A = this chain, B = another copy of it.
Amino acid sequence: MSLRRLFNPESIAVIGASRHPEKIGHIILKNLVDYGFKGKLYPVNPEAGEILGLKAYKSVLEIEDEVDVAIITVPADKVLQVAEECGRKGVKFLVVITSGFSEAGNEEGERRLVEIARRYGMRVLGPNIFGYAYTPNRINATFGPKEIAPGGISFLTQSGALGIALMGWTLMEELGMAALVSLGNMSDLDIVEISKYLADDENTKVITIYLEGLKPGSGKVFIEEMKKVIMKKPVILIKAGKSARGSVAVASHTGSLAGSGKVYEAAFKQAGILEAETIEEMFDWARAFSLLDLPRGDRTIILTNGGGVGVLATDAAEFHSVHLVDPSSTLKEKLKKTMPWFGSARNPVDLTGGAVADNYVQALEILENSDEVDNIIVLYCRTAVLDPVDLAKRLIEARKTMTKPLIAGFVGGEDVAKAIKLMNKNGIPAYPSPERAVGSLAAMLKYKKFKERLASAS
């Protein structure tokens, strides 16, 4: 069964919905209501009545309408009975929030849950999860924060606590999300199947994954299936528990086999997955993928108003194997006209500290129209003569008629932070340092190579 109805349900039942604001069954229902889910919502609670202004049902079986998705928040010892009722009702997806299954030694309960689901043709997300979200349909079926910024990043996480914490963080960081999926025990739906669905999802531009471990023996399938995903969408992954002690911590935490870090690294590389070292790096890269089309080539130019940040970006480019192009004398002559005599038209192109927005925009126009350049990294150091928010606005305007990837690295204080937010909201991936801007372009170029390699091998 396709996962389409999980992400595009016409109706959702919250089983275990509660009137008590601190209960998970209440928070999830409230998030669904507040975030503006447009489909039908059915609270299910043995006492029935009304919850958050919605008519509540004693059992899922009492709902007259069809139910696509049932969010289950009842205690563990009630889950199997509820699942059975959902099956009889013809529910398509069980999203089992409840914990107390294989992660707590209750493998038998989890096995029976899946058995019931199979018997009725239902699919199971979870158990032991904080829910899921899909912003294009205004679904926030999590007990995390109410607000989620919409965008092109989908995120799958094996850690619930981290996932919820990152919901708030992505909102603050202007990282636009499409799907957000808590994986939990992966009793049925797993990383591979969800990734394959999202690879065809038109709202997902990049898939990010926080992974603790795969099930024993599933490595080969993982590599082969993820290759197919990578042909359609970039996948960025962070693997927790790569160290010796970390793998022990993972084992005690999720019960999954952590395996050696080296083995995982090799598998990710083979599959064409981009492996990030830190959470910040993963979302830095995802930001670029979510806002930009894939580069057509690797010839990159750096545009700056400060020599220092230009040099730092140059170092980062070499470190990440980003090809910095040498402009021809024709191109250099054109660029020279956008800067004072002591500027530099070499790469990095240094407009000097006296640069105003016009200098940047003129240089950008020349670079956009040059057939020597594929990608542009624009750097800015806070100066007295150029307000960062003004520059950001001009760059956003200029970008509208540009086809080449444009990535920004701005350094400075509060007003620079404001400029960065503004660009991230308006299609220019922007970072508070030159190195992070370069690293994100590097990830895009690496993905392009992965994809070409996979294409030529198949």
Contacts and interface: CB of A to CB of B under 8 A. Distances in A.
A307 to B, nearest CB: 4
A310 B416 contact: no
A254 interface: yes
Nearest to A172: B413
Interface string A289-318: 000000000000000011111111011011
A42 interface: no
Contacts of A111: none
Nearest to A173: B413
Task: Decide if the interface of chain A is mainly helix, strand, loop or mixed.
Answer: helix
Contacts of A165: 306, 309, 381-383, 411-412, 416
Interface stretch (A66-74, A226-234, A238-246): A238-246
A383 B168 contact: no
Contact of A171 (B160, B164, B413): B413
Contacts of A145: 413
A61 interface: no
A164 B388 CA distance: 14
Interface stretch (A131-139, A186-194, A329-337, A342-350): A342-350
Given A210-B308, A279-B433, A383-B161, A315 B168 contact: no
Contact of A253 (B167, B171, B244, B310): B310
Contacts of A243: 314-315, 317-319
A417 to B, nearest CB: 6
Contacts of A27: 384
Contact of A245 (B163, B307, B324): B324
Interface in A75-103: none
Given A243-B315, A243-B318, A279-B312, 16 more contacts: A159-B307, A159-B308, A161-B305, A161-B383, A162-B308, A164-B381, A165-B416, A168-B416, A169-B416, A240-B308, A240-B311, A249-B348, A253-B344, A278-B312, A279-B411, A279-B435
